[in-house]
Amino acid sequence: MHGLGKLNAILADGWNGMKCYAIRAVEESNEKSCAQCGKTFRGNSTLALFAEDNDHPVCRNCARKLAPAMSALLDLAQTAQRIGRGSRHLLTPPMESLLDLAHAAETYSTSAAR
Ligand SMILES: [Zn+2]
> pLDDT tens across 9-34, in order?
655 555 555 578 899 888 765 677 89
Count other C-beta atoms under 10 Å from residue 11's C-beta: 12
Ligand 1 mean position, distance from CA 64 (Å): 9
Cα 84 to ligand 1 centre (Å)? 27
Q: Which residues contact 77 (CB under 8 A, 6 or more apart)?
A: 23, 47
pLDDT at position 37 is 94
pLDDT in tens, 36-88: 899 988 766 678 899 888 888 999 899 999 899 999 999 999 899 888 888 88
Q: In the chain, what are the domain boundaries?
A: 3-112
Instruction: Report CA(37)–ligand 1 centroid distance (Å).
Output: 4
pLDDT at site 54: 85
The answer to whether the beta carbons of residues 67 and 93 sit under 8 Å apart is no
Q: How far apart are CA 4 and CA 24, in angstroms?
A: 23
Q: Does the pLDDT at position 102 exceed 90?
A: yes
Cα(110) to centroid of ligand 1, in Å?
23
